[in-house]
Amino acid sequence: MKTIITFFFLALTFSVFAQEPHQKQALEIEELLEKNNPEQFRSIRRKSNYLVLNNYRSGKRRRYYEGQLLAFKTKEGQFFQEEINEIGDSTITVLFYNTIERKLETHIIPIKNISKVYRREVYKGIRWGLGVGSLAALLPLGYDWIYFNKLPWQNTQALIMIPAIQAGVILLNNRSKFFNGIKLNDNKQLKIFKSL
């Protein structure tokens, strides 16, 4: 018991003397902003526009600045996942590389033509989860074989659970794809603001 108390007081002593609050310099607001969010700092510095995705129902906001990646879909069905090159008064400009013609194209898209914005990066296809994670579907068979001596091909209850477990693995591997889009409507709107 004495050793625990001694160790506690030693640790407390070292933690008290290890701090040097009088020697630390507080960073200014501009330095903190430049360190934590460089796109927002550049936007404020240049007094340029930025996009705000408002969710009026929850009260949350998401800001997008020039140079950030934005994935969105237009009302015509075009999909873009590019960095924002410029934000105008009512339009955004993205640079899009056309792989067929092998040239860089500039697309100017009015904000009112955007129908859906994506939270995260969008990828093509479905991740099936075939690999080490798919072995989780065989766990009920192994459990029954080890503990109850039930052979895997005779275990009908576990054979029914395997497709359900595999479907759950596929859903977990693709959760960022399935629950990614924000459809713009009266409650969720995309607007342009100007830095002051």
Q: In order along the chain (196 residues), what is the average pLDDT of each group of 10 residues?
A: 74 61 73 83 84 91 90 92 91 90 92 92 74 68 82 77 78 78 91 85
Say what the pLDDT of residue 72 is. 93
Say what the pLDDT of residue 129 is. 65
Say what the pLDDT of residue 112 is. 93
Say what the pLDDT of residue 154 is. 80
Q: Using CA atoms, how far apart are residues 135 and 129, in angstroms rounded to an integer? A: 10
Same domain, 169 and 187: no
Hey, is 193 helix, strand or coil?
A: strand
Q: Using CA atoms, how far apart are residues 88 and 181, in angstroms rounded to an integer? A: 24
Say what the pLDDT of residue 113 is. 94
Q: Using CA atoms, how far apart are residues 75 and 115, in angstroms rounded to an integer? A: 5
Which range of residues forms the domain containing residue 112? 29-122+180-194
Same domain, 45 and 117: yes
Same domain, 61 and 89: yes
Say what the pLDDT of residue 52 is. 92
Q: Which amino acid is at 159?
A: L
Same domain, 48 and 68: yes
Say what the pLDDT of residue 53 is. 93
